[in-house]
Structure 1
């Protein structure tokens, strides 16, 4: 669980840095997110972060036990940005569809952070709140507990997997060249050697690098709904 070094109330009384800035947890996290996108995970260090904040590097450790603790806080921040204004409409499928697209979009703003944090478990109140909302949507729709948990795991795993994968794609320096290579290679595939590729080559050429997550999300939610309908059908008394 992400544990802060000094309670927020205590940190607010800190003196300004030599640059005249009063540090806060949020300021450090925002700066770290920006830096990790500019320099990559290997470029994020207490020294660089301190320099960007106009503070001594040791100041970072007044807020976080370690740089890994800061990474977990960054993961929490991305979750919080999705859940901050989220509210249930009572339509679980529409709600989770909106949640998934919002979360994916937020991660795509920080593709470096997406790759690093997608597989992490923070155990924080932000993460717990997110899990609670998703489970509430599923259980409130009538999913039995074991299907609600399975649905949650499928939903969140898909979103995070796409976030990491699509985030990696955005970071490829020659992304345009890769897409063009895809088009050129498959457009000229030998019909004798690759008959199926040749048969659909024109469709394969339409690949533009866009994410298939929106479609995959709709398909997954449809599958989850089918599981509930199958459960209801199997428990329904037979007509006599």
Structure 2
């Protein structure tokens, strides 16, 4: 429908038509995360994001410079959602466990997006809140200088490496399930007796228990380090 004015014809709103929410940076990032979680990182493109939002891809460039900026925004959104040091007065071991589990919880909320975040080169400043907290934990545990930095790096390597390993293991197990007969033919019990003997545990991992097991080992090793 349209109405006549002295200046010409102007469009009018169609009764009952849905009102489109304004396009914003936050909506673009949220839509990109939803797309990755639903279809995987390979589906992400400016054209697909625009289609999800019902706009032309060119409209997105008014809010983000391009796909790399979208990926940066995803990293900011996910890492920014970490709960940073809710109880700094607690024992350093408990603080370390809480930080590790907060990182892992963020990965479980957005598993496919977190895999993208962890597998790409990120501006190091995005990790500053986590680095700051882990250095504070190391200081509370009695470490200073280079040793504190090594404790922080080892801790982050364990958490990030474990999360990436979980994702890779899950993909491998799905492939094994799809090709069970072929895999069984390839695994010779005489050549791999220990693998066959541990098959049940290998094929049915308890990710939660494994994560806590490794975390306890790491904290125990940190605790045994000499203080300087």
Spell out, residue by residue over 1:52-103, the C-alpha distance to the aligned partner (whole angstroms, 9 max, x if none): 1223322322332221121122122221111367442432211111111221
C-alpha contact 1:19 1:54 (8 A) present in aligned 2: no
Cα gap change, 1:195/1:37 in structure 2, threshold over 3 Å: closer, same or farther?
closer
Structure 2 unaligned segments of length 5 or more: list them: 1-17
Distance in 2, matches of 1:21 and 1:187, equals: 56
Once the two structures are TM-superposed, the CA of residue 171 in structure 1 deviates from its matched residue by: 4.5
C-alpha distance in 1 between matches for 2:180 and 2:71: 35
Q: Find the aligned partners of 2:155 and 2:72 in 1 and give their Cα distance.
A: 21
What's the CA shift for 1:32? 0.9
Q: Aligned partners of 1:26 and 1:111: how far apart in 2? A: 20
Please report the TM-score for the alignment, with normalisation by the length of structure 2.
0.75
2:120 equivalent to 1:122: no
Q: 2:214 aligned with 1:219, yes or no?
A: no
Q: Check whether the contact 2:84–2:99 (CA below 8 A) recurs between aligned residues.
A: no
What per-residue deviation string (whole Å, max 9, x for no partner) do you get for residues 90-135 of structure 1? 32211111111221132133232232211432244x5222221221
Contact 1:83 1:130 in 2 (8 A): no
Is 1:151 matched up with 2:146? Answer: no
Helix, strand or coil at the partner of 1:55: coil
Contiguous gaps of at least 5 residues in structure 1: 1-17, 233-240
Residue 104 of structure 1 aligns with which residue?
A: 104
Q: Is the 8 A contact 2:40 2:112 kept in 1?
A: yes
Deviation at 1:21?
Answer: 0.8
Q: Secondary structure at the match of 1:205?
A: helix
Post-superposition Cα deviations, 1:178-209, rounded to whole Å, max 9, x if no partner, equal 7977x97899823xx555556xx1x5423313
- Give 1:149 shift: 0.6
Instruction: Identify if the C-alpha distance between structure 1 residues 213 and 21 changes in structure 2 by more than 3 Å, giving closer, same or farther.
Output: same
Shift of 1:174: 2.6
Alignment partner, residue 206 of structure 2: 210
Cα RMSD after superposing both structures? 3.1
Superposed structure 1 runs of 4+ greater than 4 Å apart: 178-181, 183-188, 193-198
Number of equivalences: 207
What is the alpha-carbon distance in structure 1 between the residues aligned to residue 146 and residue 159 of structure 2? Answer: 20
Q: Distance in 2 between matches of 1:37 and 1:162?
A: 20
- State the TM-score, normalizing by the size of structure 1: 0.72
> Match of 2:13?
none
| Offset of residue 46 of structure 1 | 0.8
Question: 2: distance between equivalents of 1:144 and 1:45?
Answer: 45
> Mean alpha-carbon deviation: is it higher for 33-42 or for 168-177?
168-177
